[in-house]
Chains A and B, each alone.
Chain A
Amino acid sequence: MNLGLWLAVPVLFLVCEVLARTLGRGWPTAAQLVARVRDVPAGRVALVLVWAWLGWHVFAR
C-alpha cells in the first residue's frame, strides 16, 4: 500500500500549523483560515454544504 504519499499530507498540514503558531507575523492557523471563510455568509453556506456532502459520502455511500 502506498501510504507514504498520504503520510506527507498530515505532515505538511502540521508543519503549516506549527509555523503559524511559532512565526506569527500573519501566518494563519487552520482555525483562522476556516474562521475567515465563515465570516462571509456565502462562505459559511459553502462550508456547511461541503460538510454535508462529506457526511453523505462517508456514512451513506
Chain B
Amino acid sequence: MARDHVPSGAARGLAAAVVLVALAACGWIEAGLAPFRAGSTALTLGAAAVLVALGVLADRSARAPRAAPAVPGSATGRGLSRAGLAAWAVSLCYAVVVELWEYFRSPRSLHPTLSSLANEVIGPGHRPARACAFVAWGLGCVGLARRPRRRP
C-alpha cells in the first residue's frame, strides 16, 4: 500500500536539500522585506505553517515509533532533580525579570531588551545575518514539530 511506502535515505536527503534551499530563498526574501508589513508577516507565518506540516509529515513517512515511556531515574523520567529544576527555573525567571526591568525603562539605547539586542545583529539592514537567522528559526520549526526520539 502507498501508505506503507518509506522513502529511501537518498530520497529523504534530496527532500531535505530542497527544503533547505527553499528555506534559504525565503530567508533572503524575508530579510529584504520591511518589517511591520503584511508581506513579512505572511511570509513568516506561512513559512512556519509549511515547515511545521513538513515536520509532522516527515515523522509519519519515517514511521517513527512512538516515544517509549520514560525510564524512572533517567533525566527524562520522573527522577529529575528538584535542585536542577529549581536552578533552571531561577535562571529563566532572572531572564524574564531582566527583560521586564529593561522593557519599562528608557531610553532603549541604555536599557536594551532582548529584541533590541537581537536587532543589532539580525535587524533590518543586516540582510545576510537576518537570512541565516530565518533559516535557523525555520529548522527549529521542523524540529519542534517532530516527536522526540528516544535513544535505546
A residues lining the B interface (CB < 8 Å): 1-3, 5-6, 8-9, 12-13, 15-16, 19-20, 23, 25-30, 32-33, 35-36, 38-39, 44, 47-48, 51-52, 54-61
Contact = CB atoms under 8 A, between A and B. Distances in A.
Interface of B: 30, 35-37, 40-41, 43-45, 47-48, 52, 67, 70, 73, 75-76, 79-81, 83-85, 87-88, 90-91, 94-95, 98, 101-102, 109-112, 114-115, 117-118, 122, 130, 133-134, 137-138, 140-141, 144-145, 147-148
Contacts of A23: 84
A58 B148 contact: no
Choose among B30, B35, B44, B134 the residue with the greatest number of A CB atoms under 10 Å from its CB: B44
B115 A8 contact: no
A48 to B, nearest CB: 5
B141 A28 contact: no
Contacts of B52: 48, 52
* Interface residues of B, dominant DSSP: helix
* Interface residues of A, dominant DSSP: helix
Choose among B87, B88, B133 the residue with the greatest number of A CB atoms under 10 Å from its CB: B88
